[in-house]
Structure 1
Amino acid sequence: MTNLPPIQFTVTAHREPPTLTVRVGGELDYDTCGEFVDAVVRELYDATELRDVRLDFTDLAWIDSSGLSALLMIHRHTSTAGTILHLDHRPEFLQRMLELTNVLDHLTAPAAPAGIEADGRRGDVTGAGAT
């Protein structure tokens, strides 16, 4: 049995408004998902006039449930910012995970306008439940 070194995790961002492209390499897991979310969110909120956030998974070697949770967190931020999240160059193992967990359509759905829920209902504008 060979003892291979771990694959180095990398995340690189490139802004060219109206698009932010973030390339992910290595293993997106418990140890790396915080760095991934932080990098995307920092770029997302530092930019102006973004319409699209493209996550490029060409160099992704593996993803676990923590990585999937990170994708859901990034989707929350892109929706809040009014941008559309794209998952580009998905390897088969990522595609399979997204289909098995039934989140692919959720992650790639267009952002709803501010104050409108994804199902078309208006959000609670007061911040408190009416009785």
Structure 2
Amino acid sequence: MTPPAPFDPTYLRLTTASESGDEVRLELHGFLDYDSADHFLAVATEQLADSPGLRVLHVDCAGMSGIDSTGLAMLLMLHRRTTAADVTLRLVGRPPALERMLDITGTLDHLVPDRAAEAGGRSESSYAEYRPASENGLPADSAGHGSHAVGPEISG
């Protein structure tokens, strides 16, 4: 069996864009997925260890090319680590694909609890609107929920 190839840092590039006292901004460029997830988590966790007094870790996702479920799992793991360190994690510059994945998976409010403030006080999703099952054309149970509907309707 051949050993796995070393991680190619051009696949996912993380740079510390700015540091100011108790805040660090980490810019993410590339794909956050199965192949890059461990690298992402190691670099981001290093920021926690190397920055005593850190209060806010900004992860700028504007350069993100894509994300898969493993990438999402690493964002959730980073959230756990920042919470344990009493550091606020802020995901900024979220591209539509990331926003949509967070919305679909129900992790948007968990990872971006202050999104209402970002949107000028609105907290609705910009990608999918929940409608009662009867409006979606699905049979509804006695509580009005569709027997097959588990979340917002997504159309592509």
Whether the TM-score (by the shorter chain) exceeds 0.5 is yes
Q: Which residue of 1 aligns with 2:83?
A: 79
**Which residue number in structure 2 is paired with residue 30 of structure 1?**
34
TM (norm. structure 1) is: 0.75
- Structure 1 ranges of 4+ moved more than 6 A: none
Structure-2 residue corresponding to 1:3: none
| The one of 102, 106, 121 aligned to 1:102 | 106
Q: Using the alignment, how far apart are the partners of 1:83 and 1:30 within structure 2?
A: 25
- Tell me if 1:92 matches 2:96: yes
State the match for 2:61 in structure 1: 57
Using structure 2 for the length normalisation, give the TM-score: 0.63
> How many Å apart are 1:107 and its aligned residue?
1.5
Secondary structure in 1 matching 2:106: coil
Q: C-alpha separation between the residues in 2 aligned to 1:92 and 1:52?
A: 23
Which of residues 18, 21, 27 is equivalent to 1:17? 21
Shift of 1:90: 0.4
Give yes or no for the alignment of 1:8 onto 2:37: no
Kept in 2, the 8 Å contact 1:28–1:63? The answer is yes
| Count of aligned pairs between the two proteins | 104
Listed as ranges, the gaps of 5+ residues in structure 1 are 1-6, 111-131
Cα distance between partner residues in 2 of 1:33 and 1:76: 15
CA RMSD of aligned residues (A): 1.5
Whole-angstrom CA distance in 2 between matches of 1:45 and 1:10:
19
Deviation at 1:106, TM superposition (A): 1.1
Q: 1:31-73: per-residue Cα shift (whole Å, max 9, x none)?
A: 0010000001011111111111101011100000000000001
Identity %: 36
Q: Write the distance in 1 (CA, Å) between the matches of 2:19 and 2:34.
A: 26
Considering only CA atoms, is the larger Rg found in Structure 1 or Structure 2? 2
